[in-house]
Copies of this chain bind each other. A is one copy, B any other.
Amino acid sequence: MEDNLSVVLHAQGDLRLEERPIPEPGPNDVLLQMHSVGICGSDVHYWQHGRIGDFVVRRPMVLGHEAAGRVVRVGSEVQHLKACCVSPCLSSPGDRVAVEPGVPREMDEFFKGGRYNLSPTIFFCATPPDDGNLCRYYKHSANFCYKLPDNVTFEEGALIEPLSVGIYACRRAGVTLGTTVLVCGSGPIGLVCLLVAKAMGASQVAVTDLSSERLKMAKQLGADFPLVVSREDSAQEVAQRVEGMMGNQPHVTIECTGAESSMQTAIYATRSGGVVVLVGLGAEMASVPLLNAAVREVDIRGVFRYCNTWPMAIAMLASGKVNVKPLVTHRFPLEEAAQAFETTRKGEGVKVMLKCDKNDQEP
């Protein structure tokens, strides 16, 4: 436990690999030896632009929030997780856990009401000013670390983070047996929505994207109707094509691009009485056919990350209900973070994993 190599963003465009001190866990924390951490579009966005909306990188911040690792020390109050025999130690194994990156700081109305993701003061890994976990050693609230069963790999554990967006989106949409679903966008987030919709019993899922390349993975993961769209298509045309393919308008549309035209498509395409879930994050203002949504009672529901998804996700992975393994298309050791970020930036593959444990680079 000597070094704590970390991927630190100093400012827009200034990404560095540097040593950081190993943190000291508080009474309710655990210290984790990180194993696998995925790179998210938002990590790349902070690197490229130094900000997302109102969140601005003002001082050096460790990136990374899709993570799994092993418990190496536990705080004095922690009961449900165990580290290894002697502490500090690396020889005997502590619990393997997946990390939920959002930890509410206050017991406010949102937390008490079961929607802690909406708590305005929440801690969130790699959202300024909070550090992420793309490093060797990271401390986290023990209550937001979830033990992985033996048959769930670290990488699956790390993928619970994006998967949670899909679970939460489908939950907010009310996807269930026989629901027909349109997913707009076939990036990593669109793909997890597809996977989850299928696992919840959706009978048909259509997926759109501008790139036919991107739709290949959707098809491979079970999309019934992959649909290449172009920027020239009008939203109503795309909506009609979707209805034509599916035989009826979908009950639910999950928008995962953030593009204004795709939000318009989402509204026009959805069946009366259905739901549009907005996952994709676009410009502050969007011009959309709200009248059409209103008179057909197509509800529009946003998604801000997720809450209460980890236990469910672990159950799904352990039982084999959802297979997220094909999402990982690239792996790099932590030392090669620069190439890993470059790969994600270029939109190659789907999910790039950084392997943080020098002695174990297995999935």
Contacts and interface: CB of A to CB of B under 8 A. Distances in A.
B203 A200 contact: no
Given A286-B290, A289-B285, A304-B297, A171 B180 contact: no
Contacts of A283: 291
A150 interface: no
Contacts of A204: 315, 319
B316 A294 contact: no
B118 A272 contact: yes
A203 B120 contact: no
Closest 3 CB pairs of A and B: A114-B114, A294-B302, A178-B312
A301 B297 contact: yes
A203 B286 contact: no
Contacts of A113: 114, 273, 308
Contacts of A134: none
A156 to B, nearest CB: 14
Interface residues of A, number: 67
A278 interface: yes
A203 B319 contact: yes
Nearest to A258: B291
A170 interface: yes
A216 interface: no
Contacts of A107: 143
A313 interface: yes
A307 interface: yes
Interface of A: 53, 106-107, 109-110, 112-118, 120, 143, 167, 170-171, 176-178, 180, 196, 199-201, 203-204, 224, 263, 272-273, 278-279, 281-304, 307-308, 311-313, 315-316, 318-319, 321
A80 B117 CA distance: 21
9 contacts: A53-B291, A53-B295, A109-B311, A117-B297, A200-B201, A285-B291, A295-B302, A297-B304, A299-B301
A295 B290 contact: no
Nearest to A172: B297
A167 B286 CA distance: 30
The residue among A286, A293, A294 with the most chain B CB atoms within 10 A of its own CB is A294
A176 B143 CA distance: 24
